[in-house]
Chain A
Amino acid sequence: MLKRFKLLAVVASVAMIASLSIAVPARGAGIEMTYFTPAYLPGTVAATERIVADWNKANPNSTVKIVYGDVNNMQDKLTTAFAGNVAPDIFQHEAASILSFSKQGYLADLTKEMKPIKSSIPKGLWDVGAYQGKLYGVPTMTQTYTVYANVDMFKKAGVAVPIGTNTFTWDAYQALAKKFTTDGKYGVAWGLRSPAAMTMIMGMNFNAAFFRGLTLTSGPKLSINKAELEVPSRIHAMIYDDKSVDPASLTMTGAGPVPGFLAGKYAMIFAASYVAADLDIAAKASGFNWTALPLLKGSSNQQGANPQTLSVSAQSKYPKQAAAFIRYMVGDKNLSDLAQGEALIPSTSGSLKAALASKKGNAGWTQILDDGSSLALAPFTLVPNYQKWKDTVLQPAMQQYIQGKISITEMKSRLLSGWLAIR
């Protein structure tokens, strides 16, 4: 009996020592920060893991752990994490969505920490990540909306592919779409299932401000005039007057028309820059000859910017180290790799150069990367409640207008009354 008791005591002691040695970190062990990212495309995931592995190797006392999130639920996840005081140290999100977190004091002020890189980021992008003069989100990469062309179809039709920044006008685009609308084929396909964000961003082509009078003490006023209605009415005219847009594409997502484009069903598609990743796959596999046309120009070719941003949580115990990690992440090669994985435009001048160098000889990519200079601060990104208005009022009203169910007057009236109800 005594023997059994002794044996049990020895086993228990060994187990206790073993568990203690697991539970107690080694003396001098460093800190571990969490980096929350919605990265999901293989190229971006690989780049993120490579960057974090390099950082951890170089900084064994302040390592980073990647936590992957779902891009469509980032806001819910972060909202509960902030409320529960368990927010990640560093996270990637989009500029328009971090505004509410900045206002609520959930984000660390990065103005001083990011001073060394400020000059390498265009002012328009920097301003989007700031609130009341303080930087809360470091802009990393962004997208533009552009027209993609099937070069072989252009050649076959004897039509010159438009080139030259700031030359390709909306009128020229409409005329091209009409020209290619022959033999039962439509000139262009346009995935317009969720047109709200695109029409707001493209509205800057015609100086559409939408929101005016935003001050520190009062909310903005929504005003919708000719400039604000120019983009939707031009799209409407292409669909119903020119009949140059494939009606089947109206209910597709942004990337939905790509298969038809690859099959030679349309000479052009209008989509965001990320579509270039799919076109690259097709170019490598079948020699599909595509290019991106210069950004569309109304009174200017400016588009509203809503870049991806990197922020540090105000709840982080290691804000300095977290900021250092962000500076590392936006290093030229690192940001270039991340942006190429997502088919987005990197924000710093150095990373843009690196991306251009790696895409040398690819006309489409060269055009897309060049488009970054036309991005500017869109007023709506600074408007509280914009997201709510966009999702619950603008999106359904715009969908109904584009699908020909309501008039432009009715849409305008819904947008204005919807804003009054929300704010």
Chain B
Amino acid sequence: MSAIEQRGISIAPEKKKRKYYLIPTYFAVICYIIFLGFPFVWMFTTSLKSPFELLQLDQSFLPKSFYWQNYQDIMEKRGLLNSAKNSTIIALITTVITTIFAVPAGYAIARLRKVFSGAATGWILISQVFPVSLVIIPLFMAVRRLGLLDTIWGLILVYLVAALPFALWMLKGYVASIPMDLEEAGAMDGASSFQILRRIVFPLLLPGIVATALFTFLNSWNEFFFALVLIQSPENETLPLTLARFMGSEGQVLLGPLAAGAFLATIPSLLIFGIMQRKLASGLLAGAVKG
């Protein structure tokens, strides 16, 4: 028996009130989840339909019979698992290295003197204005000269170059939003610079770091054009390249295998989001200023 009940305080009306209040909220959340998740579920059911069923005018939500051949084909004949492995390695390494470089650099740009900060942000902006079609051939030559053509390391290098400016830009904004007063208060309490960074800045910056890491991961995971140009061998292909090969000219498409491949390709991104969104939320709650 709880202490509240021992004291004879009834809490039933409050509980009921809370439940009624929650019903529309939960209903709205469930509707929203269905709205967001429906394309994903539709993709899954499509992946289980036979070629003939996919040619029907009226498509049912559930397959008439489960056609697992699409999954077998993409695994055995199209090398999807190997592509998924390559994409995972490339996206993870790119994300980790980008974050390692972008966090201190973003902090430096946000906190250092305005002249340096302005020059650095200007340089970042300039690096973003060139269209991909303009840089692709020089980039291709450079990667080739480095002996990294048709390697996942070449692709990682290119993705790092592409991701770092924007990651810096994002993190600079997050750092700037942390009040300097907090760092000064820490310093007055006797904390060293490292302690200030580790105990005050880093926890407050965590949502920004997570958001930047997610952004970098997804960009690397989905990137197509650089991979198309720089990767030659089937064993080094990434997922977007493998998935593109289920589509032909004039709108032809192998819908069953494409849906199966796209479904499997979405799962790692969802997992990464699932794991990291907790950090995103917990970081947002780690407020330092009361009242």
Using Cβ atoms and an 8 Å threshold, which residues of chain B touch A255? 250-252
Interchain CB contact (< 8 A) of A86 among B77, B149, B225, B241: B149
Q: How far, in angstroms, from A256 to B54 measured CA to CA in the complex?
A: 12
* B255 CB → nearest A CB, Å: 11
Residues of A within 8 A of B149 (CB): 84, 86
What CA separation (Å) do A278 and B251 show in the bound complex?
13
- Taking CB atoms and an 8 Å cut-off, the chain B residues in 211-235 that contact chain A are 225, 228-229, 232-234
Known contacts A272-B250, A285-B52; decide if A84 and B228 are in contact (CB<8 Å).
no
- Pair B245/A259 contact, Cβ less than 8 Å: no
Most buried by A among B58, B140, B248: B248
A104 CB within 8 Å of chain B? no
Q: Which residue of B lies closest to A191 (CB)?
A: B251
Asked whether B144 is an interface residue with its Cβ less than 8 Å from the other chain, the reply is yes
* Bound-complex Cα distance A88 to B225 (A): 19
Docked complex Cα distance between A286 and B50 (Å): 13
Contact with B along A64-93 (1 / 0, CB 8 A): 001111111100110011011010100000
Judge if A281 is at the interface, Cβ distance under 8 Å.
yes
Whether A77 pairs with B248 at a CB distance below 8 angstroms is no
With A and B bound together, what is the CA distance between A72 and B251 in angstroms? 10
| Chain A 230-253 near chain B by CB (<8 Å), digits 1 or 0 | 000000000000000000000011
CB pair A76 B55 closer than 8 Å: no
Chain A residue at minimum C-beta to C-beta distance from B149: A86
Whether, in the assembled complex, A224 has its beta carbon less than 8 Å from a beta carbon of chain B, the answer is: no
- Residues of chain A within 8 A (CB-CB) of B136 are 80
Contacts of A69 in B (CB 8 A): 245
The residues of A that contact B241 with a CB separation of less than 8 Å are 70
| CB-based contact B229/A40 at 8 Å | no
Contact check, B248 vs A45: say whether CB atoms are below 8 A apart: no
Bound CA–CA A258/B56 (angstroms): 9
Report Cα–Cα, A68/B247, bound state, in Å.
12
**A222 interfacial contact with B, CB 8 Å:** no
- How distant is the Cα of A66 from the Cα of B233 in the complex, in angstroms? 9
Say yes or no: is A390 at the interface (Cβ < 8 Å to chain B): no
How far does the alpha carbon of A309 sit from the alpha carbon of B57 in the complex, in Å? Answer: 35
Task: Tell me whether B185 is interfacial, beta carbon within 8 Å.
Answer: no
A286 to B73, CA, bound (A): 23
Contact between B251 and A282, CB atoms less than 8 A apart: no
Does B254 sit at the interface, judged by CB under 8 A? yes
Judge whether A80 and B137 touch: CB under 8 Å.
yes
Q: Which residues of A contact B254 (CB under 8 A)?
A: 40-42
Among residues of A, the one whose C-beta sits closest to the C-beta of B53 is A285
Known: A70-B245, A72-B244, A80-B136. A260 touches B57 (CB 8 A): yes
Q: Is A194 an interface residue (CB 8 A)?
A: yes
How close is B235's CB to chain A, nearest CB, in angstroms?
Answer: 10
Residues 360-393 (chain A) with a chain B CB within 8 angstroms: none
**When A68-B245, A70-B245, A76-B229 are in contact, do A84 and B250 touch as well, CB less than 8 Å?**
no
What would be 6 A-B contacts, judged by CB atoms less than 8 Å apart?
A: A40-B246, A69-B245, A71-B247, A80-B140, A252-B251, A262-B57
Known: A253-B250, A254-B251, A262-B56. 12 other contacts (CB 8 A): A41-B254, A42-B73, A42-B77, A67-B234, A72-B244, A72-B249, A76-B229, A77-B229, A86-B232, A255-B250, A262-B55, A274-B248
**A-B complex: 6 closest residue pairs judged by Cβ atoms:** A253-B251, A263-B57, A285-B52, A70-B244, A259-B57, A254-B250
* Residues on A facing B (Cβ under 8 Å): 34, 40-42, 45, 66-73, 76-77, 80-81, 83-84, 86, 88, 191, 193-194, 197, 252-256, 258-260, 262-263, 265, 272, 274, 278, 281-282, 285-286
